[in-house]
Amino acid sequence: MKENIINWEDVQQKATEYLCQYLQINTVNPPGKEIEGAHFLKGILSQAGISSTIVESEPGRGNLIARLEGGGEKPPLLLLSHIDVVPAEAEKWIYPPFSGKVVDEEIWGRGALDCKSLGIANAMVLILLKKSVIQLNRDIIMAATADEEKGGTFGAGWLCRNQPGFQDIEAVINEGGGVGIAGKNKNYYFCQVAEKGICWMRIRFTGSPGHGSLPRDDNCILSLGSCLSRIGAFRPEIQLPPVTMQFLKGFSDDDVLAPLFDQIACNPQSADNALKHIKDKGLKQLLGTMLRTTFVPTVVKGGEKTNVIPSECCCEVDCRILPGKTPEKTKKELEALLSDIPRCSIEIIDSSTASESSQSHELYHLFRQSLLRHDPQAKMIPYISSGATDSRFFRNQGAPAFGFAPLLVDGDLSQYQDLIHGHNERISKKNLLFGIKVLYDVVREYSS
């Protein structure tokens, strides 16, 4: 049988309409209330004859699961996205964050990029496959989950532990990558194949308490201050794990970046100097995180009253680690850095090692092929993200997971990064359609 011809203009119109409506549903986490978003997705899928279920991990924390049944020759593929979004400071936006407004061919709203557009793209892929005559050799599962923005405990993490069928998924396509930037000759798309691990630490300082009118050398607040400036100035050693090396080599055909990236690969000690010459602030920041462990102080607690020197205070450090490093090793590194600061002790409050998926996986090749089909200038490069996504739950149970929600940024990478969790988040209709087309081809080819 011949495949149906898809009217992509209709697809774009429908997807735009759906995304606008999805963005109007406030799923800010906390509290999340993802159930409302889940019901919306269930509605659009059911109009296309696709049944789905909503499972609640806690009241209101809805997770949507839809399944297109295939022949069962191969294990299922999971298309993953999350329903919850981070809060938005409405007064700082040009158009209200829950308006789902379309202005100049762009769709505005909190979640337009992270990650409701991917939720709609996944739904459209399912709808298009359902309408087609393609025989699937595996089930395609779509999951739109709760709680990603607060760690995934009530979303993907919960599904992996409790939902039948989630333990034998073969591979996952998720958020976290797929973004492209335009170079001189090529458009470079970053596929997320790995995520840094975390090592969150709390540092406690003690000293003798007393009256604020009587200065003391062992004032714990002063120790905390020294610690913060020490961490701020700390530049841990450069690491070049294989994924970072591949990222650097990926730009070999870019006249401007190739010499800089070569310099970093051949002489890691010169990395900080080379980074200074990267014009795109977003790219500079991204590469910076791929080259070393980062230590970022985020919480400071201590003191109650202006005239009382406290006996104790603490700070917390968000530390992100590359493959090959363990949380224990990272703690030792911090202890060495602070060794001469008296009366301080470090404890790990949460940790995980980096997670990674193999680039020899068939999906990875299909991403590349499909990108090229829809953008002849495309070049795909693997990268490791500094932040964590729900992909780690699946990697930890042995399923390869890739961050791949393709879109091409108009300008610097920083223009895209500033919108994620920032003000005025939006996606162009063109990018929404591009993502759907690329994903559709990938899923169709992987499953037939």
Q: Which C-beta is closer to Zn ion: that of 312 or that of 318?
A: 318
As measured in angstroms, the least distance from the Cβ of 423 to Zn ion is 17
Largest Cα–Cα distance in the chain? 88
Q: Which stretch, 51-59, 110-118, 324-332, 401-409, contacts Zn ion (CB under 5 A)?
A: 110-118
Instruction: Tell me the per-residue interface mask from 55 to 94 with Zn ion, x by CB under 5 A, - otherwise.
Output: ----------------------------------------
As measured in angstroms, the least distance from the Cβ of 113 to Zn ion is 8
Q: Which C-beta is closer to Zn ion: that of 115 or that of 436?
A: 115
Q: Which C-beta is closer to Zn ion: that of 16 or that of 145?
A: 145
Q: How far apart are CA 97 and CA 41, in angstroms?
A: 20
As measured in angstroms, the least distance from the Cβ of 95 to Zn ion is 21
Instruction: Tell me the per-residue interface mask from 153 to 192 with Zn ion, x by CB under 5 A, - otherwise.
Output: ----------------------x-----------------
N-to-C CA span, the chain: 14
Residue 290 tokens read as 């791929």
Residue 41 in the binding site for Zn ion (CB under 5 A)? no
As measured in angstroms, the least distance from the Cβ of 421 to Zn ion is 9
Q: Which C-beta is closer to Zn ion: that of 175 or that of 375?
A: 175
Q: Which C-beta is closer to Zn ion: that of 114 or that of 170?
A: 114
Q: Which C-beta is closer to Zn ion: that of 139 or that of 175?
A: 175
Q: How many helices (H) and strands (E) does the chain have?
A: 14, 20
Q: Which C-beta is closer to Zn ion: that of 193 or that of 314?
A: 193
Return the ∠ at Cα 441 (arms to 390 and 358), rounded to 5°.
Answer: 45
Helix (H) or strand (E) holding 297: strand 294-302
- Please, what's the b/e burial string for 363-377 (b: 16 or more CB within 10 A of its CB; e: otherwise)? bbebbbebbeebbee
- Total residues in contact with Zn ion, by rule CB under 5 A: 3
Binding residue (CB under 5 A) for Zn ion from 76, 84, 97, 114: 114
Residue 115 in the binding site for Zn ion (CB under 5 A)? yes
Q: How far apart are CA 437 and CA 370, in angstroms?
A: 9
Interface residues for Zn ion in 385-444 (CB under 5 A)?
Answer: none
Burial of 320 (0-12, 13-18, 19+ CB in 10 A): buried
362-374 vs 429-446: helix crossing angle, rounded to 10 = 140
DSSP symbols for 339-406: TTSTTEEEEEEEEE--EE--TTSHHHHHHHHHHHHH-TTEEEEEEEESS--THHHHHHTT--EEE---
Q: How far apart are CA 68 and CA 19, in angstroms?
A: 21
Q: Which stretch, 34-42, 108-116, 162-170, 179-187, contacts Zn ion (CB under 5 A)?
A: 108-116
Which residues bind to Zn ion, rule: CB under 5 A? 114-115, 175
